[in-house]
């Protein structure tokens, strides 16, 4: 029996359809689950938290959603080694719950994704480079070393920030899985669109079963994402960002 994956929808989520479709395209048995059905989450084997503006991002991005009943089940599942992927707003929630980087107690975050250095919302194509060993995170284990994944940054609060001591723990523990990079794979500060500490685009927890990713790979999931860059013969063909979801699907098969 294949693993069942819940795509969580909170008040204000807005990327669930693309995320759900790409998961299904990669062979994942995924279902959209709204906040009114929180109790059903206990029956799922893995969780994906898509982007948006849950609860209008009041207080801080993801801060209120981190205390939603839905997250009780996500936390419980993560602690049982179930796979969890958070994208953009979902990533913000995972840091607010303390699941990622997981260096402190639950719901006592040690890091956050906060306002971009520009203090403006950004929407632009980016490249994420795998800077940890693929096996460091179960969700990336099927990717090649130094894989570059195209995605879209679309956030106003995507800058990783933490106390210097906590950033040192994050760096020393190889919690940064993806860093922002140039299209040729070079990683340096000029490739970072938001001032993120450690040039971080995505972080994992200590156990490596939870991945918090700020850019949107699902917005670079099909050929039609590139029709303005020379075009593709098949607009429905899988595109660069789909490799992340294919890796997620592979991780589900391994954990089944």
Please say if 148 is a catalytic residue.
Answer: no
145 is catalytic: no
Catalytic residue among 16, 18, 96, 218: 218
Alpha-carbon gap, residue 50 to 140, rounded angstroms: 18
Active site residue 88: yes
Q: How many Cβ atoms from other residues are within 10 Å of residue 232's Cβ?
A: 15
Cα dihedral sign, 240-245-247-253: negative
Instruction: Compute how many other C-beta atoms are within 10 angstroms of the C-beta atom of residue 24.
Output: 15
16 and 50 Cβ atoms separated by less than 8 Å? yes
Per-residue b or e along 6-19, where b marks 16 or more CB atoms closer than 10 Å to that residue's CB? bbbbbeebebbebb
Task: Return all residues near 45 (Cβ < 8 A) that are at least 6 apart.
Answer: 3, 4, 5, 82, 83, 252, 255, 256
Dihedral Cα 83, 218, 143, 189, nearest 10 deg: -110
As a whole number of angstroms, the distance between CA 21 and CA 138 comes to 22
Question: Shortest CA distance to 177 belongs to which of 142, 124, 139, 219?
Answer: 139
Report the alpha-carbon distance of residue 128 to residue 159 in Å, rounded: 14
Could you say which of 88, 115, 155, 175 is catalytic? 88
The catalytic site residues sit at 88, 216, 218
């Amino acid at each position: 029996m294949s693993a069942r994956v819940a795509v969580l929808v909170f008040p204000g989520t807005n990327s669930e359809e693309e995320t759900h479709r790409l998961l299904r395209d990669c062979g994942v048995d995924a279902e959209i689950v709204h906040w009114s059905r929180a109790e059903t989450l206990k029956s799922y084997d893995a969780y994906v938290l898509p982007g948006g503006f849950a609860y209008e991002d009041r207080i801080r991005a993801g801060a209120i959603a981190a205390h939603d009943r839905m997250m009780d089940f996500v936390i419980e599942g993560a602690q049982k080694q179930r796979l969890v992927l958070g994208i953009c707003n979902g990533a913000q929630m995972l840091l607010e719950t303390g699941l990622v980087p997981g260096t402190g107690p639950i719901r006592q975050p040690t890091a956050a994704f906060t306002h971009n250095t520009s203090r403006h919302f950004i929407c632009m194509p980016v490249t994420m480079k795998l800077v940890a060993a693929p096996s460091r995170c179960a969700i990336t284990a099927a990717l090649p070393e130094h894989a570059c994944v195209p995605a879209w940054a679309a956030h106003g609060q995507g800058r990783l920030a933490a106390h210097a001591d906590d950033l040192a723990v994050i760096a020393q523990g190889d919690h940064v899985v993806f860093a922002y990079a140039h299209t040729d794979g070079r990683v340096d500060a000029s490739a970072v669109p938001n001032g993120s500490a450690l040039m971080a685009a995505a972080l994992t927890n200590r156990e490596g079963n939870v991945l918090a990713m700020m850019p949107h790979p699902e917005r670079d999931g099909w050929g039609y994402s590139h029709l303005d860059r020379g075009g593709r013969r098949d607009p429905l063909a899988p595109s660069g960002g789909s490799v992340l979801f294919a890796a997620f699907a592979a991780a589900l098969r391994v954990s089944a």
